[in-house]
Homo-oligomer: A and B are copies of this chain.
Amino acid sequence: MPQRAATAQPLKRAEKKEVTRQQLIAATVDSIAASGFAETTLHKVSARANVSRSLVNFHFESKEQLLVATLRHLTEEYRTFWMKAISRPGLSAAGKLNAIVDADFHPQVCNRKKIAVWYAFWGESKSRPTYMEVCARADSEFARTMEELTAAVVGDGGYAVSPAVAAKGLRCMIDGLWLELLLAPATFEREAAKRTCRTYLASLFPRHFDMPAAAAPAAVPEAQAAAGGER
């Protein structure tokens, strides 16, 4: 049951090219997560993608451009994910903040492999301004959106806190919780991370968020048993 069942098998040339391109980017993500930034070579990437080594320089002019494309892919995936999460109709500002928290710890964007790649790029960003620019551009959009949401909540509830400060606190807390998944995967719990964020929101905006109950002792029947054992 191939996906293109209707139009018959043959991949058009342009399509196949794009598929290979995406394979290379996916292989780069895998390689950075598995071998780190320093030891990610075009040899390893092309081997993972099952293509010849020289193909990388054909699709991307250089290794550096492959890395930039990979970072762009990552930011774009993240962007569409949280945007979709808050686009559900009938969601209040508080509901959207809750949706962002859920999205940010969803296994699709928050798993050790992708977090490792994020941190690898961040670690290189000081020496490669291009990365910094790509990240900053994505972050600023996320920050602006979140500030609009906190501003709506503050306005609605008459809270004294600055919306910008509240939003920044939540954003930073999320980034830090990601780091916990990276450095202490054994103790990281998705639900606990969300609870940490919601505790923050409930203490800032008590009339819009409920203070989470104490930890349910790991008996939560969460659909967390994802594929592959890696979280």
Partner of A119, one of B119, B165, B173, B199: B119
Q: How far apart are the CA atoms of A38 and B34 in the complex, in Å?
A: 15
Chain A residues proximal to chain B, CB less than 8 Å:
33-40, 112-113, 116, 119-128, 132, 135-136, 139-140, 160-162, 165-166, 168-169, 171-177, 179-180, 182-184, 192, 195-197, 199-200, 203-204, 211, 214-215
Give the nearest-CB partner of A31 in chain B: B127
A183 touches B122 (CB 8 A): yes
Shortest Cβ distance from residue A51 to the other chain B in the assembled complex, whole angstroms: 22
A123 touches B126 (CB 8 A): no
Contact sample, A vs B, 14 pairs, CB 8 Å cutoff: A36-B126, A36-B128, A37-B38, A116-B125, A161-B211, A162-B199, A165-B192, A165-B199, A166-B199, A172-B172, A172-B176, A172-B179, A172-B180, A173-B176
Shortest Cβ distance from residue A24 to the other chain B in the assembled complex, whole angstroms: 18
Asked whether A122 and B214 contact (CB < 8 A) given A37-B38, A127-B35, A199-B169, the answer is: no
Asked whether A124 and B36 contact (CB < 8 A) given A172-B179, A196-B168, the answer is: yes
Q: How far apart are the CA atoms of A171 and B35 in the complex, in Å?
A: 28
B127 touches A33 (CB 8 A): yes
Give the nearest-CB partner of A116 in chain B: B126
B176 touches A124 (CB 8 A): no
By a CB distance below 8 angstroms, the chain B residues around A204 are: 199, 203
In the A-B complex, list the 6 residue pairs whose CB atoms are closest, starting with the nearest: A172-B176, A123-B123, A120-B123, A175-B176, A36-B127, A116-B126
